[in-house]
Structure 1
Amino acid sequence: MFSIFKQEARGLATSPASSSTQDLGTNCGEGLDSESSEKTDKEPVDFYGLGDPAAEFSQMSPYLSSRGSIIKCFRDAAEEGYKAYHLDEYDEDKNPNGIINFGTSENKLCFDLLSSRLNQRDMHHIEPPMLQYPDWKGHMWLRDEVAKFLSYYCKAPVPLKPENVVVVNGCASLFSALATVLCDPGEAFLIPSPYYGAITQHVYLYGNVRLVYAHLDSRVTGMDCRPFQLTVKKLEIALLGAKSEGINVKGLILINPQNPLGDIYSQERLQEYLEFAKRLPDPQRTHVIWGTSKDFGISGFRFGTLYTENQDVANAVASLGCLHGICGTVQYQVAQLLRDRDWINQVYLSENHARLRAAYAYITEELETLNIPFLRTKAGFFVWIDLRKYLCSDTFEEEFSLWRRFLHHKVLLSCGKAFECKEPGWFRLVFSDKIHRLRLGMQRIQEVLEKEPQGAKTLSPCQSLEKSSQSR
């Protein structure tokens, strides 16, 4: 019997902070009816996929358990690019020939604003409770500020309650914790792909939970009006495909804004995904994750929060808080930051948005000059670019080869396979950086592409769509 996560319409997509939320809803009791609103028997099988880390990472270490060997392989798989970057990081003064990082989704545009705010006197305070073991849900004064902050910026119809808030050291920890407490080993979440690939690792580490992919396509077919469009029909196809393989799907994960596509799900779209679950929204089975890494550009703080009205889920996640707690001084600083609405509204948001718009305008103009097709984004720090014409063959091996040539020319990108994109040749380019680094990085990309033999010169569906919608 299938059961399904359901996305609650109240989310952070309308936040002035262009929030990067990961929203989950759950229906762990009853299953989803196997009947589909449309017949999908004859749909192509490549509309869904099934992740299996145990099969992908088969190299066993004699010093580790089989599970430990797989966990180690997660790190090994991501090591080449980021190890090279950290050993040879670009610095305009100390290492001007170092690697430019267009691969990590971090906002590097507002360090001056954040450093100034975090160094103010009100941020530096110590009292005994901060030095002692806390409630693993987080200090109540922080949870209270989180509830007020999310109520205000998410335009919640009723104030959110601090008792429904759990804080831990990052959204990755919350994915791992929720997967563990909501699923049994071998069960799965449904997720549209391409998606932020690290979620594969997050849900597998503790819970041995897998992902079922609802593949999105760059082609505009009868199910779509634009490239990479998520539809209920695609979710249905993936769900039924998983069922045919005996996989019990326990949840739907939606990332809003979507990573790597940059889409924001409208309230109408979210309602369609709710109807996919064949029932009305149930707050007891809907769980929202939000963090400060993207909205405030402080990924090093490691702060993530869960909002759920289900106290069984909150308490189960809090039991894992002993592994994922946040130190008291950081909790205090985050509380101070979230309550300073004058600084957020009058200083940070306006300047952050202006700098992001300028960086986005620069990078998209460069992409157009180089005749590189891309998806125009509505939010996020990245652009989804189409380099398929630079592949000698339509394979992920060729995609990885191109990725490695970029790395050898000292620019780090993220290739589409890392996001489980089913089409080789797509890359994510992060633009939230200073213009001089963007300029140098794009020069290096151009140098690589000028050496590449181009395949088909035809305009991609993505490019033709974007050319017709230049105004944003």
Structure 2
Amino acid sequence: MISARGQKHAGKVTPFWTAFDRIIGDAFCHETNPGGIVNMAISNNSLLEPELLAFFGANLRLQPVDLTYGTSLFGSHRLFASLCRHFNLGHTFAPVTPVRPEHLITGPGCGPLLDQLAEHLAEPGDGILVAAPYYNGYDADLACRAQVQCVAVYSSDDDGTGAQNFEGVSALRNFAATKDKWESEHAGQTVRAVLVCSPHNPVGRCYDREALISYGRFAEEHNLHLIFDEIFALSTYSSKPHCTSHTSDPSFHSALSIDWLREADCDPARIHIIWSASKDFGINGLRVGTIVSQANDELLRALKATAKLYMVSSPADALFCALVDNQCVYDDFIRTNQARMAQAYSVIARWCEFHEISMKQCTAGHFVLVDLTRFLPDHVDGEPLADLPAREGALWTSFLSHAVCLTPGSNYHCTRYGTFRLTFTLRRIALLEGLSRVEKALNLPSWPHRDEALTEIEQSMETIAAPENMPTVTQAQLGVSQNVVAEPIRALDVAASTARARAGRRDYVDSLRSMLKDGGGSEVLLNCGMGMNTPACA
């Protein structure tokens, strides 16, 4: 027997957790698993994967202290110094007040850090306002342990993706009304904070400076904390000539760059920033992140009580610091990554243009929102689908049956069914293979510029030179691109695991199709992401 709380958590592990586990366990690799699933759902940046593997392989330098509990329970002295360097140097964050070690609490990624902030800023059942659409992992990050609810704020003018939702005071559309309505419907519960994702996931845009200041004024007026998720801060790029809809500066502005008291009349003690190396450096697996709170000593003391449960491992600490502390590598990495992102975005934009698929124009993040409404099926195996959720779920399932995974926009609280988020920061072969499989799932003709795009990408890899101290390595040197395994057992393991994965894929696709035919479209969509309680797409 387990506790009632444990039973509640166990109930959240739906059959779709198994589906997600099989998706990532059956990952496409053109050498070792060419029939595997091309994952265009998770926000994973592989554009500098070979260079990172080579650099980390040559630069892991552990000290004796790394084999102990380290130099601090809240993040090592080495990690504090590297994070301060990261925030204070350059023009990206441009802090008004330099970030110091005493402003930081570290942890293994933004999810655990949000969990801690929810624990210390709100009571169970309280709410945090988030503009919709929003990253679906927030729901689980806030609710799993802290039992805090995400309160979605919907635009009254559009689907929440238009420019006005990221510019000036119009970014605060419906916030006050949503807060009042939610509190009136939840007696005894209070909205405690606002959570702002900039650059935005899943829209791929940055809030302008006036919008951030407007958020600060709103937080002060309503006595709220203001949390900024800046996990994509360095993942910006030029989308010209494909992006023409921006009416203001699309550049990233960090919350650290604002003098909150002077510019917004907002108490700086309300301002908290989370950032992780996962997205900007393409290292989701290393799990290095931090909270920056420069004017709230009480919160930092509270965080220290839980931080020891979320320590960053010494090897991850050491590898991240090696990358950040080498200024040449750090600068070149950011430049190269942004250039390759722009090139990959160009491929997606031209592919969508050819197929007359509408997409939201972006300047940040690893993904685009595409409108696939016209492809939503009416039937599954000859049986009619009851509603739009079922039709969107059926299209998602069809993608899986073609060994490619995208994420339905309803997972991100998009109001328009048929919107999907598509990640484009894949290695060139995986990107083009994924697009080819999407074409098959949608019964579209092959993009005639595929070979041209492949050549263009290969040439750009030469012109967009890798960082000087991060040499590229060949696949032969790596062993395999997904996992480095011993050569004698590789063929046997790959064949066996691929066979198991494909058999499992047939099983869960069949179960999803059955659920859709039984009228379970909403249940499919509520669980078809990849993350915590509803497995979510980072």
* TM bucket normalised to smaller: 0.7 to 0.9
What is residue 113 of structure 1 aligned with on the other side? 51
CA distance in 2, matches of 1:126, 1:208: 39
- What is the alpha-carbon distance in structure 2 between the residues aligned to residue 124 and residue 198 of structure 1? 33
Q: Which residue of 1 aligns with 2:342?
A: 357
Cα distance, 1:191 vs structure 2: 0.5
1:195 to 2:188 alignment: no
Structure 1 position 105, deviation (Å): 0.2
Partner of 2:118: 179
Instruction: Please give the root-mean-square deviation of Cα atoms over the aligned residues, in Å.
Output: 2.4
Question: Of residues 298, 319, 323 in structure 1, which corresponds to 2:309?
Answer: 323
Is the 1:148–1:159 Cα contact (8 Å) retained in structure 2?
no
Distance apart, 1:328 and its partner CA: 2.4
1:293 and 2:231 matched: no
**Could you give the per-residue CA deviations for residues 256-290 of structure 1, whole angstroms, max 9, x where no partner exists?**
11100011011111112222235422221211001
User: What does residue 135 of structure 1 align with?
Assistant: 72
Q: Hey, which bits of structure 1, 4+ residues long, moved more than 4 A? A: 223-230
Give the Cα–Cα distance (whole angstroms) in 1 for the partners of residues 358 and 162 of structure 2.
19
After superposition, give the CA deviation of every residue in 1:211-269 in whole Å (9 maximum; x if it has no partner). Answer: 11002478389x97658886213212221221221341000001111100011011111
| Matching residue of 1:462 | none
**Distance in 2 between the 1:359 and 1:224 partners?**
23
- C-alpha displacement of 1:404: 0.6
Contact 1:386/1:425, CA 8 A, preserved across alignment:
yes
Q: How does 1:144-159 map to 2 (within 5 A)?
A: 144-152=81-89, 153-159=92-98
1:86 counterpart (5, 11, 24): 24
2:183 paired residue among 243, 249, 261: 243
Paired with 1:288 and 1:234, the residues of 2 have a C-alpha distance of 23
The 8 Å contact of residues 109 and 434 in structure 1, kept in 2 or not, is answered as yes
> How far apart, CA to CA, are the structure 1 residues paired with 2:392 and 2:10?
24
- Distance of aligned partners of 1:146 and 1:436 in 2 relative to their CA distance in 1, 3 Å threshold: same
Q: Report deviation, 1:133.
A: 5.2
Cα distance change of structure 1 residues 139 and 357 upon mapping to structure 2, 3 Å threshold:
same
> C-alpha separation between the residues in 1 aligned to 2:3 and 2:178?
32
2:433 is paired with a residue whose SS is helix
Match of 2:488 in 1: none
Q: Measure the CA separation in 1 of the matches of 2:345 and 2:432.
A: 12
1:96 counterpart residue number: 34
Once the two structures are TM-superposed, the CA of residue 361 in structure 1 deviates from its matched residue by 0.5
**CA 265–173 in structure 1, closer or farther in 2 if over 3 Å, else same:** same
One-letter code aligned to 1:339: D
Deviates more, 1:105-114 or 1:86-95: 86-95
Going from structure 1 to structure 2, the CA distance change for 1:372 and 1:67 (only over 3 Å counts) comes to farther
Return the offset for 1:87. Answer: 3.8
The 5-angstrom pairing of residues 59-70 of structure 1 reads: 63-70=1-8
The 1-side partners of 2:351 and 2:19 are apart by 24
Give the AA of the match of 2:181: G
Determine helix, strand or coil for the equivalent of 1:213.
Answer: strand
Q: 1:389 aligns with which of 366, 374, 379?
A: 374
Which one-letter code corresponds to 2:417 in the other structure?
Answer: P
* Contact 1:370/1:446 (<8 A) preserved: no
Question: CA separation of 1:394/1:257 partners in 2, compared to 1, >3 Å: closer, same or farther?
Answer: farther
CA contact (8 A) 2:43 2:367 kept: yes
CA separation in 1, counterparts of 2:159 and 2:274? 31
C-alpha contact 1:100 1:410 (8 A) present in aligned 2: yes
Of residues 384, 393, 396, the one that matches 1:400 is 393
Partner Cα separation in structure 2 for residue 208 and residue 76 of structure 1: 19
